[in-house]
Amino acid sequence: MGVYIESLEPQVRAAVVALRLKGWNTNSSGFGGPSHSQKQGLQFSGDMFLDKVIQQAVEACGAELQPINPTSPSYELQFEAELPNIDVITRKWDGLVDLIPDLGQPIATQRSDWTDRAFVINALNIGMSADELIGSPFATELAIEEAMSAYGFSSRQEHRPLV
């Protein structure tokens, strides 16, 4: 997926995994940001254009399915959460993903240097120190050095949690 499963917002996590198992590549997912705090979105693409029947089924569930690019099968699935309840939102995602057809070949995932750096950056953002990351299989020494450099730290002693 290019991210650690913990980096996905919990209400959309199972939906992202389900789409990938159906052969769809996922991109951005979760809440729509501060100005759209109740809006949920999920971008995905694959080897098949979705027809009007699927679009109508999605709309019947109170969501929208919009093509991102008319020349490629890429979409944004979105809805506005009626209640700020994670269980309700999760069930809505699960039901919407059930409407998307299976392409027959799951999307392979692999860990990369980029995901290692992202893990370290997220850990630093939530207040962990670089020393606390030692021993994590995802926090390679290179990932720690690159993440700390991205924040302008030249040494571990200089690092202070960002929160």
**By C-alpha distance, which of 82, 86, 78, 85 is closest to 11?**
86
Under DSSP, the state recorded for 21 is H
pLDDT digits (tens, 9 = 90+) for 4-19: 565 666 787 888 888 8
More confident residue, 163 or 86: 86
Structure-block tokens of residue 12? 């959309």
Contacts of 136 (CB under 8 A, 6+ apart): 119
**What is the Cα–Cα distance from 54 to 108, expressed in whole angstroms?**
25
Q: What sign results for the dihedral spanned by CA atoms 130, 135, 140, 142?
A: positive
More confident residue, 8 or 65: 65
CATH of domain 5-98: 3.90.1150
**What is the Cα–Cα distance from 6 to 122, expressed in whole angstroms?**
10
Q: Where are the domains of the chain?
A: 5-98, 113-150
pLDDT band at 162 (very low <50, low <70, confident <90, very high): very low
Structure-block tokens of residue 109? 């995932």
Mean residue pLDDT of the chain comes to 78
DSSP H or E segment with residue 32: none
**What is the Cα–Cα distance from 60 to 73, expressed in whole angstroms?**
21
**What is the Cα–Cα distance from 64 to 42, expressed in whole angstroms?**
11
- Alpha-helical segments (H) within the chain: 10-21, 52-60, 86-98, 113-125, 141-150
pLDDT given for residue 41 in this prediction: 83
pTM of full prediction above 0.75: no
pLDDT digits (tens, 9 = 90+) for 85-119: 889 888 998 999 999 999 988 876 555 666 666 66
More confident residue, 26 or 123: 26
- Alpha-helical segments (H) within 47-102: 52-60, 86-98
